[in-house]
Structures are given as C-alpha cells and as structure tokens.
Amino acid sequence: MDWHDTIAAIATAVAPGLGSVAIVRMSGPAAESIGRTLFRAPGQQVWDSHRVLYGHVVDPASGERVDEALLLLMKAPRSFTREDVVELHCHGGLIAVQRVQALVLAHGCRRAAAGEFSQRAFLNGRLDLTRAEAIGDLIAARSQRAAQLAMAGLDGGLQRRITALREQLLDQLAELEARVDFEENLPPLDAAAVVAALTAVRQALEALVAEARQGELLRDGLRVAIVGRPNVGKSSLLNRLSRRERAIVTDTPGTTRDLLESELVLEGVPLTLLDTAGIRPTSDAVERLGIARSRAALAAADAVLLLFDLTTGWSDDDQELRDLVPDGAVLLLVGNKADGAGLATGAVAPTGPGFPLEVAISARTGEGCDVLVEMLLQRCGATELQGLQVALNGRQRELAAAAAAALGRSLEAAAAELPWDFWTIDLRAAVRSLGEITGEEVSEAVLDRVFARFCIGK
C-alpha cells in the first residue's frame, strides 16, 4: 500500500432515498489539483484552506454537470490526515454521489481501504493508536454510555494512563540496566523500591483489565436468550421489554417457530433479546427447525432468562431446559403469570429444588419486569458501569494483560533474588506490550488488522 498517493472514498452512508447530503473525501498530494479539475466555482470565489466553495462537479471530458455541490479544501497539516484533504459535499442517495466518486477515481485517486484515512492520521502523527481506535468505537457505539466512553478515549484519557504507566516501567528498566553494565560505578540499587514500583504498575494494569470487561458490555452489549416451554410467555416478555410488538402472542403453543431478535438499550447497556421457539418434542418440520435454532441461540447467549409458568409450577421439562444452559452463561429463573397464580411480583428467594424461582413477573401487565431487568444487569456485572471513565478494547486488554503477566514474572525473579538482568527480560516485554497499545511499538501488520475493522471513508 502506497502511503504517498491520493486516496478517495464516500465518507457517508449511501442508500436510495435516504440522506440529503453525501460526502466524497480525498486525501493526498493530488487532492487539491483533482478538486480544481472537477469542480467549477462561479464568480470570484477564493480557493483557500478551510473555506467552503459553491459550484458544480463537472465531467471534464464532456462538460456535463454531474452534481451541484459544495467543496471544502483543508490544506496540510490542518486536516484530519495532516495531508491535503478535499471534500465534495454532494446530494445524497445513490446515483449522484457514485458518479462523483467515479470521476474522482478516474482522475488520479485510489479507492481508500477501510480505515485508511484514520491510519494515515496515525502514521502522520495526528493521532496515537488509542485515539484512532476510539474513533472506530465512537462510530460503532450502540448507546450513549458507549459513545461517552469512546469520547474519553478520543480525548486522550486512555493514552495518558498507558503512557504514564509505561514511563514508570522505563524508569525502572533504566535503573536496572545501568546496574547490569556499570554497577561498580553507581550507588547500590534500592531493590525494594523497584519491586514496589513494578507492583504498583501491575496492580494498575490489572484494574484496567477488569474495567475492560465492563467496557465490553457497553461496546458489544449482551445477547440474552429467553427460553422456556411453549406458551409460557416468552413472546409477551420480548414485547414488554422492547416496548413494541415484535412477536405474535396467542394462546396456541408453538406460535413462535423461528428465532426473533429485538435490540434495545437498558440502563446504558445494549441488549439483543432472542425470543426462541419453545423447545419440545414435535413432528412439525418447521417447528423442529425453529427449535434447532433455539438450541444454537441458547449455546451462544451471554445470559439466559429461563421462563416458566407459575400457574403450573416447575416441571421436569423446565429442569431439562435448565440443564441445556451452557456453563459460564448467566442464568436467571423467571416465573411468569404471577397474576394468574395469585403471587406477588419481584425478587424471590428460592424455596427449594422443586421450585427454584428467583423473580416473579407478569409479562402481560409488566409487573416485576423492572426488577427482572435490574437483576439481569446485576448478574452480568453491568451495575458497576456508571463510574467507568475509560476502558480498553479487546486488543488493548490482551496487551495490558500480557504486560501485567510479564511484570509478574519479573517480580518472581526479584523474589528469587536473581541478578538484575533476569529482572529486565520480562520488564522489557511489559514495556513493549504497553507501547503496542499506544502505537509506539507496533508493526505494519498489526496496524493493518486494527484499521481494517473501520468503515470505508474513515
């Protein structure tokens, strides 16, 4: 990939009949000259940096006006990529913006790869890697809290924390390496102080790793499967929680024959609710297919709401469903139709193995559903998210965990009173891992993987 050519992409979502404005973005040394070739600005408008021009995109070969548009020129280094950037603000939809893009590509631009604008911003020193990844997180945010977390990363909060920890390690590494080479010329090293410093950084990294798991809830959300016997009220609960009619509700068992999904945000946490077909023996081929999909959804769910009928009580069939829940998934036993059974709704302490109720609800009236949501989020660890300021993404979490593990090995060498150079081996590994988080020590292959997850045009 040539980082010295000029790239272009449509930087806005493209769909027929949707969106009044679309943007074709160019970045690179030829961006301004291509803009001047394709754009006609009437009158005495001045081509100057960060100035909007009005005019038309014109095909130079035929003289045809392709679209009425605005042009914005941002000259280096005052642009997102720190290169010359030109944006053509065209009419939205499909045809006009695609014709403009085709002209741009025909006159010297290369089609940008996913995330290539952000990658150039990183390579040109406009962003560190944590800020660049925060841009991707902000675009992909599914809730307000996830967007706030991404903005904290974009503002540099995460970069500052990681850089400060890495500098502390570099200070200790410098002291140790100096003793390895020139110990006879230096005062004795305070080993206890080094151990204390490494321990403090390790604890800080372990805290970041723990917070990262909470951050994943805000970024990725939870897949919650609602399972139970036929006609137990799964579709009614889905409709109640999503506050809209997503599933057909009747008194006929087996009405839901396919997997229904509903996406919503509860207490800032994105949830994908899966209304599964009732799992039971059946000769109906379509219902069997729905049951097979229900089993697959159950196996892949982060949390399971096992719904049973309070008017008939816990049955052997309910126990069989409970046994299908995979190890590691959060399980909440929910008794439905509390109004029909004459029971109070809300949290309930289990009364024994024959009646393992944890929360009683009425999906028909909505009573007890607020308590159900609160218990679900608490079981999934989502109630501790309010004070979260920054959070590592998956790549960063793995590197922070690797750095903490390396520091653990270095501390083991210290505890064994091994020579200084044994301490430095894993300390260097920890420094490298933290450098990969911010991009100070990262390979081109890693960068390609990081930015490949971005959308085209960003």
**Contact by Cβ (8 Å): 135, 81:** no
Beta bridge partners of 266: 269
pLDDT cut 90: percent of the chain above it:
34
Question: What ranges in 183-233 are assigned the alpha helix state H?
Answer: 191-220
Query: Do residue 258 and residue 375 come from a single domain?
Result: yes
For residue 195, name the pLDDT band (cuts at 50, 70, 90): very high
- Tell me which of 83, 108, 128 is where a domain ends: 128
Query: Do residue 373 and residue 403 come from a single domain?
Result: no
Residue-level pLDDT at 185: 62
The predicted model gives 409-424 an average pLDDT of: 89
Query: Do residue 19 and residue 118 come from a single domain?
Result: yes
Assess if residue 87 is contained within a domain: yes
**Contact by Cβ (8 Å): 277, 287:** yes
pLDDT at 250 over 80: no
Beta bridge partners of 223: 272
Residue-level pLDDT at 289: 61
For residue 431, name the pLDDT band (cuts at 50, 70, 90): very high
* pTM beyond 0.75: no
Residue-level pLDDT at 253: 44
Assess if residue 338 is contained within a domain: yes
The predicted model gives 247-272 an average pLDDT of: 59
pLDDT at 247 over 60: no
Q: At a CB cut-off of 8 Å and minimum separation 6, what does 411 contact?
A: 195, 198, 199, 202
The per-residue pLDDT for range 7-25, each reduced to its tens digit, is 999 998 877 777 789 999 9
Which structural domain range is residue 113 located in?
A: 7-128
Q: At a CB cut-off of 8 Å and minimum separation 6, what does 385 contact?
A: 145, 214, 217, 218, 268, 269
**Contact by Cβ (8 Å): 246, 275:** yes
Number of structural domains the chain divides into = 3
The per-residue pLDDT for range 162-187, each reduced to its tens digit, is 999 999 999 988 888 877 666 566 67
Better-predicted residue by pLDDT, 255 or 428: 428
For residue 1, name the pLDDT band (cuts at 50, 70, 90): low
Query: CATH no. for residue 326?
Result: 3.40.50.300
Query: Do residue 194 and residue 340 come from a single domain?
Result: no
Better-predicted residue by pLDDT, 353 or 347: 347
Query: CATH no. for residue 17?
Result: 3.30.1360.120
The predicted model gives 75-90 an average pLDDT of: 96
Residue-level pLDDT at 246: 43
- The beta strands (E) that lie in 36-93 are given as 39-40, 51-58, 65-74, 85-91
pLDDT at 345 over 50: yes
Better-predicted residue by pLDDT, 30 or 181: 30
Query: Do residue 226 and residue 373 come from a single domain?
Result: yes
The pLDDT mean for the chain works out to 82
Query: CATH no. for residue 169?
Result: 1.20.120.430
**pLDDT-wise least confident of 88-102, 183-197, 259-273:** 259-273
pLDDT at 298 over 80: no
Query: Do residue 118 and residue 30 come from a single domain?
Result: yes
Query: Do residue 54 and residue 93 come from a single domain?
Result: yes
Tokens read off for 174:
């410098």
Assess if residue 414 is contained within a domain: yes
Query: Do residue 204 and residue 234 come from a single domain?
Result: no
